[in-house]
A and B are shown apart, each in its own frame.
Chain A
Amino acid sequence: MTTTDTGVDSLADVTSSEDRLRRFLLGLPGVDQVGAEARAATLSTRSIKTTAKAYALDLAIQMIDLTTLEGQDTPGKVRALCSKAKRPDPADPTAPQVAAVCVYPDLVATAKYELRGSGINVASVATAFPSGRSSLAIKVQDTQDAVAAGADEVDMVIDRGAFLSGRYGLVFDEIAAIREAAGDAHLKVILETGELVTYDNVRRASWLAMLAGADFIKTSTGKVSPAATLPVTLVMLEAVRDYHEATGLHIGVKPAGGIRTAKDAIKYLVTVNETAGPDWLDPELFRFGASSLLNDLLMQRTKLATGNYPGPDYFTLD
């Protein structure tokens, strides 16, 4: 329980050597699995109705990183996704825009062009996504390519092998190097919590990423199961809350993968609200990495406004 008595100075201190970093991370308070899952389950029982639901649905849409990360992606596919991002519901211009479109580095330029002037960011995965199994030089190059093509946000992956074998210094240095390579781009650090498995590891990796310069900590690549879960996101929200307490800095959280329904998205927003607090109810500090979620949010939004479910054919598949 060292988090609140560690001020900014001592936090700078913990990264001064690998040994100190290790001791700090291993000294973080443990997470009781049963308790964390029970808390997430209780938060899931919140009943969000009427005006609160309308607020949550619109907020969730604005927090989406509309994502396509497939080998079969083409400029045509990305263009379609971008027009969806700009106007999610062709039948309803009041539906808000999403936060960003997330693609592989080679498609950043296409997305950037399509989204020009829209205010929607382009996010690019990088660093040998999704496995991260490559040399640092290649990861840096990958990042620089994405940024050069115009990426506003970079979603990097950590070296899970290094993390699980306790080489925290290596993971730290890599994140710091990518932080530098990303320049002004927003850096999201993907922990791939499905491979870290324990909540203790999730908490340690969250702190490690924040100390190394992450703007956002992100659960998953979407390529590993399980992807985002509510208890994992809860533990990460506790980490950003405690980091804020210690440093005054706001770090964002992005659950990605597996969140497909409006109902699920609302559970995440409730958890944000009651864990990190209302400050994080902002696309600057909370995002959903998702694709199919958007249509369910739009459908629920229409249902709330009109009283009827229009049916899935009334929403575009891009």
Chain B
Amino acid sequence: MSRFEYAPAPESRAIVDIKSSYGLFINGAFTEATDGKPFKTVSPASEEVLAEISEAGPADVDKAVKAARKAYDKVWGTMPGRDRAKYLYRIARLIQERSRELAVLESLDNGKPIRESRDVDLPLVAAHFFYYAGWADKLEYAGAGENPQPLGVAAQVIPWNFPLMMLAWKIAPALAAGNTVVLKPAETTPLTALAFAEICQQADLPPGVVNIITGAGRTGQALVEHEGVDKVAFTGSTAVGRAIAKSVAGTDKKVTLELGGKAANIVFEDAPIDQTIEGIVNGIFFNQGHVCCAGSRLLVQESVYDEVLARLKRRMGTLRVGDPLDKNTDIGAINSAEQLARIRELSQVGEDEGAERWSPECELPTQGYWFAPTVFTGVSQAHRIAREEIFGPVLSVLTFRTPAEAVEKANNTPFGLSAGVWTDKGSRILWMADQLRAGVVWANTFNRFDPTSPFGGYKESGYGREGGRHGLEAYLAH
């Protein structure tokens, strides 16, 4: 018998219509940037230039914040919740209607597999808008006081790993609570945010309620430091989060930060082994490991270490790395040359520090930014690859002997965003969840998200929560 070779099954690009250049979305219309230098966004899978993007300079930021302020004062802040809800429902439905197009666009610009953008990102994006639409006229029941009020203008800066999903996490609760927003997508992944701007137009959202400005770090800095901003929400690296916290110190801006992580994924000897292997794979290789809550530190009980490793390696051998638009691709492209360089550098550090590196045989495309799924064994707590966020498809494996040791090692990190526990014993799950200093603890699953469930970090993983009733609090004054 010959082997079952899956023929290429590419999702068609014909559904997306990418313009050659994009302006800034301010006050309900696309406008030319007044200052700043345009930049290009590329497809990380092929390095093909997709479009030219405007950079918003200080004058553009100012214009956007003023538009948001005006919309807040005149329209959105005073609009009854049930009317705001209508707009949010409309946006949610438009996202569903255009989900195939948005999924293709996301995979093109970000490099993530179409299977994930289609089956994970887009359904969650729509669900987030539907969920917060439901809250818009029920804010007095959100646990934020009897008569909660919006904060005003929210400055939101989001990362490149889940471009549209992070946008939804930021914009949906802000608008439901009655705030207006200026959002800056990451410079490497602006296209779905710009498509979302079109959706706002399609939904007849009043001008200025949502403003999308593009650019890199400088634009973000100008936005969060703008005096007209009442609230800053940031998702990204701990270093930038720290700088933002400093810059808003002494102002009356409210801040929520969702930063890095180095999650422990803890496997006990009584774990449901086959599903555990899937969970380990999903924990670190989902979205090429570009996940702040990725299960990048695998803690395995010593008694089952050999078996877990053998099964994990066998499973990694079946991962399909390649064209993000192929429906059978499991692992896509690394988002940027810069990120690829960082992953390579830290992996080299892992080798230099004496950890053993292993990757399955896999052919990587020659064009674009690629990194094979990688596992490091013989890693100890002192290794940099066990402490620093790699933000790539690289897993560090450590061992433990007792539950107490697992907790100690899991918590021995400056981060505290998420953790996973794999065991058939219910009482141990509850005990572990109580002991782990992490905002999310998954039991017998990993990287599961739902708009009803709050998400956020302990320690250097940030503060504030997104999602659920708690996510509204970040956008309400008591």
Contact = CB atoms under 8 A, between A and B. Distances in A.
Interface string A261-290: 000000001100110001001100000000
A40 B69 CA distance: 49
B279 interface: yes
A30 B270 contact: yes
Interface in B428-454: 444-445
Contact of A31 (B274, B279, B318, B327): B274
A39 B281 CA distance: 11
B271 A49 contact: no
A29 B272 contact: yes
A48 B328 CA distance: 9
Interface in A43-59: 45-53, 55-56, 59
Given A1-B307, A4-B307, A49 B7 contact: yes
B123 to A, nearest CB: 13
Contacts of A46: 6, 327-328
B4 A281 contact: yes
Contacts of B273: 1, 29
A32 B4 contact: no
A52 B272 contact: no
B477 interface: no
Interface in B263-290: 269-276, 278-279
B367 interface: no
Given A39-B278, A47-B328, A55 B272 contact: no
Contacts of B3: 278, 281
Given A34-B444, A35-B279, A45 B115 contact: yes
Contacts of A56: 4
Interface string B295-334: 0000000001011001000000010000000011000000
B154 to A, nearest CB: 35
A38 interface: yes
B225 interface: no
Residue among A5, A55, A235, A269 with max Cβ neighbours from chain B (10 Å): A55
Contacts of B307: 1, 3-5
A193 to B, nearest CB: 17
A52 B119 contact: no
B17 interface: no
Contact of B2 (A45, A55, A270): A55
Nearest to A283: B1
B7 A34 contact: no
Contacts of A235: 274
Given A4-B307, A29-B274, A53-B7, A281 B1 contact: yes
B271 A29 contact: yes
A56 B4 CA distance: 8
Given A29-B271, A30-B272, A47 B327 contact: yes
A14 interface: no
A236 B119 CA distance: 27
B5 interface: yes
Given A4-B310, A32-B444, A50 B7 contact: yes
Contacts of B270: 1, 29-30
A128 B1 CA distance: 36
A51 to B, nearest CB: 5
A48 B9 contact: yes
Given A30-B272, A34-B445, A35-B272, A55 B328 contact: no
Nearest to B330: A42
Given A29-B273, A47-B327, A53-B7, A282 B278 contact: no
Nearest to B422: A32
Contacts of A49: 7-9
B424 interface: yes
Nearest to A50: B7
B139 to A, nearest CB: 33
A195 interface: no
B331 to A, nearest CB: 14
A35 B278 contact: yes
B278 A38 contact: yes
B2 A274 contact: no
A238 B277 CA distance: 12
A36 interface: yes
Interface size band for A: 20 to 34
A56 B9 CA distance: 15
B274 A36 contact: yes
B7 A51 contact: yes
A136 to B, nearest CB: 34
A269 B310 contact: no
B1 A278 contact: yes
Contacts of B424: 30
A282 B1 contact: yes
B11 to A, nearest CB: 9
Interface string B1-25: 1111111110000000000000000
A35 B269 CA distance: 17
A63 to B, nearest CB: 11
Interface string B82-115: 0000000000000000000000000000000001
A69 to B, nearest CB: 29
Contacts of A34: 275, 444-445
A277 B279 CA distance: 20
Contact of A32 (B269, B272, B306, B327): B272
Contacts of B4: 52, 55-56, 59, 269-270, 273, 278, 281
A1 to B, nearest CB: 5
Contacts of A48: 6-7, 9
Contacts of B310: 4
B445 A35 contact: yes
A257 to B, nearest CB: 24
Contacts of A31: 272, 274-275
A30 B5 CA distance: 32
A47 B8 CA distance: 9
Interface in B249-272: 269-272
A30 B423 CA distance: 9
Contact of B119 (A36, A45, A53): A45
A280 B233 CA distance: 52
Interface in A1-16: 1, 3-5
Contacts of A1: 269-271, 273, 304, 307
21 contacts: A1-B269, A4-B306, A4-B310, A29-B273, A30-B270, A34-B275, A34-B445, A35-B275, A35-B445, A36-B274, A38-B278, A46-B328, A47-B328, A49-B7, A49-B9, A50-B7, A52-B5, A52-B7, A55-B2, A59-B4, A278-B1
Interface of A: 1, 3-5, 29-32, 34-36, 38-39, 45-53, 55-56, 59, 235, 238, 269-270, 273-274, 278, 281-282
User: Which 10 A-B pairs rank lowest in CB-CB distance, beginning with the nearest?
Assistant: A35-B275, A47-B9, A47-B327, A32-B272, A32-B275, A29-B273, A52-B7, A30-B272, A30-B424, A50-B7
Given A1-B304, A39-B274, A52-B7, 16 more contacts: A1-B273, A4-B307, A4-B310, A29-B272, A32-B272, A32-B275, A32-B444, A35-B278, A36-B275, A45-B119, A46-B328, A48-B7, A52-B5, A55-B4, A273-B4, A281-B3
